[in-house]
């Protein structure tokens, strides 16, 4: 199966349980090579986020990420990719956090 087929089948079959807040936070994620890669957060909630990256995040895979917050420092999270779509030169992905976000998302923006 090719990468695009895997990415299109990667949804989890449910809608968001919590409303996400628009944001423009940055951070990084750690790929299989364990090196950091740029990650931008477009929106976030206590349960997950919409992120964009330069490389595809494969649905149903777990990974570690960090958020550089404005007033809580660097926050480390683990998540699982629900879906991933390429638009122009960026990959947009929906991520579910493995544990609820430790802060109210408004506190980190």
Q: Where are the domains of the chain?
A: 3-108
pLDDT band for position 15 (50/70/90)? low
pLDDT over 70, % of the chain: 84
Can you tell me the mean pLDDT for 37-49?
94
User: What's the whole-number mean pLDDT along residues 22-46?
Assistant: 91
Q: What is the DSSP string of the chain?
A: --HHHHHHT---S---SSPPEEEEEEEEEE-TT--EEEEEEEEE-SSEEEEEESSPPPTT-EEEEEEE-SSS-EEEEEEEEEEEEEETTEEEEEEEESS--SS-GGGG-
What tens digit of pLDDT does each residue of 83-93 get?
Answer: 999 999 999 99
pLDDT classification of 16: cutoffs 50, 70, 90: low
> What average pLDDT does this structure show over 32-55?
92
Stated pTM of the model? 0.81
The CATH architecture annotation of domain 3-108 reads: Beta Barrel (2.40)
């Amino acid at each position: 199966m090719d990468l695009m087929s895997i990415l299109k089948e990667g949804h989890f079959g449910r809608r968001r349980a919590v409303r996400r807040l628009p944001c423009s936070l940055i951070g990084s994620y750690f790929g299989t090579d364990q090196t950091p890669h740029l990650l931008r957060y477009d929106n976030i909630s206590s349960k997950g986020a919409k992120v964009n990256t330069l490389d595809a995040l494969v649905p149903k895979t777990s990974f570690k990420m960090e958020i550089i917050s404005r007033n809580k420092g660097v926050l480390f999270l683990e998540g699982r990719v629900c879906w991933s779509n390429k638009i122009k030169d960026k990959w947009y992905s929906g991520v579910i956090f493995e544990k609820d976000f430790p802060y109210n998302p408004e506190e980190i923006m």
